[in-house]
Amino acid sequence: MRSARNIALGLLAAVAVVSAADAPSDVVQLKKDTFDAFIKENSLVLAEFFAPWCGHCKALAPEYEEAATTLKEKDIKLVKVDCTEEQDLCQTYGVEGYPTLKIFRGPDNITPYSGQRKSAAITSYMIKQSLPAVSELNAETLEEFKTADKVVLVAYTDASDKASNEVYSAIAEKLRDNYLFGATNDAALAEAEGVTAPAIVLYKSFDEGKAVFSDKFDEEAIVSFTKTASTPLVGEVGPETYSDYMSAGIPLAYIFAETPEERKELGDALKPLAEKYRGKINFATIDAKAFGAHAGNLNLPTDKFPSFAIQETVKNQKFPFDIEKEITVETIGSFVEDFSAGKIEPGVKSEPIPETQEGPVTVVVGKSYEDIVLDDTKDVLIEFYAPWCGHCKALAPKYEELAALYGDEYKDKVVIAKVDATANDVPDEIRGFPTIKLYPAGAKSEPVTYSGSRTVEDLIKFVKENGKYKAEVVEKAAEEETPIAPAATETASSEAAKETEHDEL
The verdict on residue 3 lying in a domain is: no
pLDDT for res 407: 83
The pLDDT confidence band at residue 490, using thresholds 50, 70 and 90, is low
Please write down the HEC assignment for all residues of 440-488.
Answer: CCCCCCCCEECCCCCCHHHHHHHHHHHCCCCCCCCCCCCCCCCCCCCCC
Residue 244 CB neighbour total at 10 angstroms: 21
- CB under 8 Å to 159, separation ≥6 — which residues? 165, 185
Burial of 150 (0-12, 13-18, 19+ CB in 10 A): middle
pTM for this model (two decimals): 0.66
Domain limit, last residue, from 109, 129, 149 = 129
Could you confirm whether 57 is annotated as catalytic? yes
Q: Which of 45, 392, 415, 459 is catalytic?
A: 392
Give all strands of the β-sheet with 135-136 in edge-to-edge order.
135-136, 180-184, 151-156, 199-204, 210-213
pLDDT for res 501: 31
Mean pLDDT confidence for 169-173: 93
The verdict on residue 347 lying in a domain is: no
Q: Are residues 376 and 331 in the same domain?
A: no
- CATH classification of the domain holding 405: 3.40.30.10
User: Which residue type does 358 have?
Assistant: E
Closest of 105, 83, 87 to residue 29, by C-alpha: 83
Residues 13 and 501 sit within 8 Å (Cβ to Cβ):
no
The verdict on residue 22 lying in a domain is: no
The verdict on residue 11 lying in a domain is: no
Torsion of CA 273, 279, 280, 284, to 10 degrees: 60
Q: Are residues 252 and 330 in the same domain?
A: yes
Please write down the HEC assignment for all residues of 178-192.
Answer: CCEEEEECCHHHHHH
Q: Are residues 473 and 440 in the same domain?
A: yes
The parent domain of residue 445 ranges over 362-495
Q: Which of 14, 54, 121, 195 is catalytic?
A: 54
Q: Are residues 244 and 297 in the same domain?
A: yes
Domain limit, last residue, from 340, 370, 399 = 340
Instruction: State the pairing for strand pair 199-204/210-213.
Output: antiparallel
The verdict on residue 1 lying in a domain is: no
User: Which residue type does 310 have?
Assistant: I
The verdict on residue 351 lying in a domain is: no
Residues 22 and 62 sit within 8 Å (Cβ to Cβ):
no
Q: Are residues 125 and 140 in the same domain?
A: no
Mean pLDDT confidence for 399-411: 91
The verdict on residue 290 lying in a domain is: yes
Q: Are residues 386 and 481 in the same domain?
A: yes
Q: Are residues 86 and 109 in the same domain?
A: yes
Mean pLDDT confidence for 272-294: 96
Q: Is the pLDDT of residue 488 over 80?
A: no
The pLDDT confidence band at residue 315, using thresholds 50, 70 and 90, is confident
When comparing pLDDT for 432 and 146, which is higher? 146
Q: Are residues 222 and 240 in the same domain?
A: no
Per DSSP, the three-state class of 433 is: strand
The tally of domains found in the chain comes to 4
pLDDT for res 87: 93
Could you confirm whether 392 is annotated as catalytic? yes
Mean pLDDT confidence for 123-143: 93
pLDDT for res 489: 53
Q: Are residues 376 and 489 in the same domain?
A: yes
* CA 397/CA 180 separation, integer angstroms: 52
Torsion of CA 172, 175, 176, 177, to 10 degrees: 180
Residues 47 and 101 sit within 8 Å (Cβ to Cβ):
yes
Give the bridge partners for 103, in sequence order.
46, 111
Q: Are residues 387 and 295 in the same domain?
A: no
Mean pLDDT confidence for 418-438: 90
Q: Is the pLDDT of residue 498 over 90?
A: no
The verdict on residue 50 lying in a domain is: yes
- CB under 8 Å to 34, separation ≥6 — which residues? none
Q: Are residues 486 and 450 in the same domain?
A: yes
Q: Which of 57, 71, 126, 180 is catalytic?
A: 57
pLDDT for res 65: 96
Q: Is the pLDDT of residue 259 over 70?
A: yes
* CA 363/CA 382 separation, integer angstroms: 9
How would you label 204-214 residue by residue, b for 16+ Cβ within 10 Å and e otherwise? beebeeebebe
Q: Which of 389, 405, 414, 415 is catalytic?
A: 389
What's the pLDDT tens digit per position in 64-122? Answer: 999 999 999 999 999 999 999 999 999 999 998 899 999 999 998 898 998 889 999 99
Residue 246 dihedral angles phi and psi, to the nearest 5°: -65, -30
Q: Are residues 135 and 125 in the same domain?
A: no
Mean pLDDT confidence for 258-268: 97
Measure Cα distances from 212 to 33, 187, 205, 279, 358 in Å: 51, 16, 15, 15, 61
Mean pLDDT confidence for 29-35: 95
Domain limit, last residue, from 93, 111, 129 = 129
